[in-house]
Every structure is written in structure tokens, then in C-alpha cells.
Copies of this chain bind each other. A is one copy, B any other.
């Protein structure tokens, strides 16, 4: 890998915060590829699942990997992430446009891809339990895989997925994000299961209920509606996500346990 280009700029103020000489040729140095990777989570049957695709070619042929792809020349990373998400899940664009998508962080270790220098902006998405994703027209075939059962992931995707899970767990504490995992109408039991699944701990039912209902704007009751949850037990009232986005005070996970 030849180190020309950027280094040639060192004589003046550098970078976009500095200056690029007029005659600067964008093709003169070893380029960086910029991609997005997606950590898409859902809660399914009491277990956290991530959306993964099976790799067909080397490197890491046969391994699971995060969905993702190149950022196109006229596209922001966020737009690229939304486009890839729509392609991989086969969901209609308007549904994808409404999903919670959040930038996680950027992974830039020089050797994270053995083929060339790839800098990847990772995004985290939380979705309700969707119908099985349709492969996005091309060879890509995305599936929901229970967290921790995927074997070795390609590239540094295991790191990304672990970081994303930790971030989601932390955000549940001080935001109303948990409703993103739920369908439009849900019971408090389902909402509690989201917390229990992501945190890996059991929560006290009455206390959870008290906390959620005491937070203005977290959830709004759907008048008169109720639903049986697990086939057994008293039917539960239905709620919708409210307008609030932050939890004050936060709902802390018990005893700082990480999983």
C-alpha cells in the first residue's frame, strides 16, 4: 500500500480542516472504501435476534455477517444504511423510513478487511418482530439469528454486534426506545419482555408497571382494548407508544449486570 496523497499534504495546513492544493488529484492516493454495517435487532419468542446474512465467497465464506454495503458517491451514510436495510429486509420504503436507526460508531482498523482499506460506519436498528425477511432480490439472504448462536462472524462484525447490544441495553435505561421493539399496540408484559430479553434479567412485574405508567408520555392506553398474551392468564390492556423519548428519571437495570 503506497502512502502518497495525504502525506503529500503535510507541508501545509492539513485535511479538510486545512487545505487541499488546487492541483490536488483525488485519484492519486490509495483510496478508502466507505461502507455501512447494520446491527438490526428484534425480540422474538423471548430471545434477542439479529439480522444476519450468510456469506457466499471468501473471505469468511459460509460465515454469518452483518448486512451492509458501500456508501454511494452522492449518499450520506445514514441514507446508505436505510437503503441497505430496505434491500435486505424487503420491507416497503415507508416502513423503513419510520424505523429507529441510530449511528453506533465507525470501525476503521486498517486490516479489518483483508482485501482493501474499508472504513465502516455501523448503525443500529430496532424493529418489532417482522415477518421473515425476503432476500433483497440479489444473492443476499438475510435471516433472524438468535444472539450468540451464529458461530464466528465475518470480519470484526462480532465486535460491532456486541457494541450494538451494549448500546441498546444502555439506551433502554434512559430512553423510551423499548417501544421500537414492539408492534404498534402492545401489552406491558410484552414491553417488559423487551427489557428482560435485552438485559438478560428478570424484572418485578408490578414495579415495572408502576414505573412505566408513572413516566408521562412513555405509553398511552388504548381505550377498551385488551388481549390475551400467552394463551393463559388475565387479558392485558393494550398500549401505544407515547410522545416521550427520554426517561426521567431513568429505569436502571438491576445491579449493573452486563451480559
Q: Which of A208-247 contact B (CB under 8 A)?
A: 246
Within the complex, the shortest CB–CB distance from A139 to chain B, in Å, comes to: 5
Which of chain B's residues have a CB closer than 8 A to the CB of A74? Answer: 1, 3, 110
Q: Chain A 4-29, CB within 8 Å of chain B: the 1/0 string?
A: 01110111111111111000101101
Quick one: which of B11, B69, B73, B246 contacts A18, CB cutoff 8 A?
A: B69
Report the Cα distance A11→B69, complex, angstroms. 12
Is A140 in contact with chain B by the CB < 8 A criterion? yes
Which residue in B3, B13, B78, B103 is a CB contact (below 8 Å) of A140?
Answer: B13
Check A106 for interface membership: any CB of B closer than 8 A.
yes
Residue among A18, A117, A154, A248 with the most chain B CB within 10 A? A18
B121, A68: Cβ atoms closer than 8 Å:
no
Q: Which residues of B contact A53 (CB under 8 A)?
A: 13, 17
- Interface secondary structure of A, over-half rule: loop
Q: Are A56 and B106 in contact (CB under 8 A)?
A: no
Q: Looking at the assembled complex, report how far the CB atom of A11 sits from the nearest CB atom of chain B, in whole angstroms.
A: 7
Taking the nearest CB of chain B, how far is it from the CB of A248, in angstroms? 6
A108 touches B76 (CB 8 A): yes
**Can you list 14 pairs linking A and B with CB atoms under 8 Å apart?**
A1-B73, A6-B33, A10-B138, A11-B138, A14-B69, A17-B37, A20-B116, A26-B33, A32-B119, A34-B119, A77-B108, A108-B121, A119-B119, A248-B252
Which positions in A face B, CB cutoff 8 Å? 1-3, 5-7, 9-20, 24, 26-27, 29-35, 37, 53, 55-57, 65-78, 103, 105-106, 108-110, 113, 115-121, 138-140, 154-155, 157, 246, 248-250, 252, 256
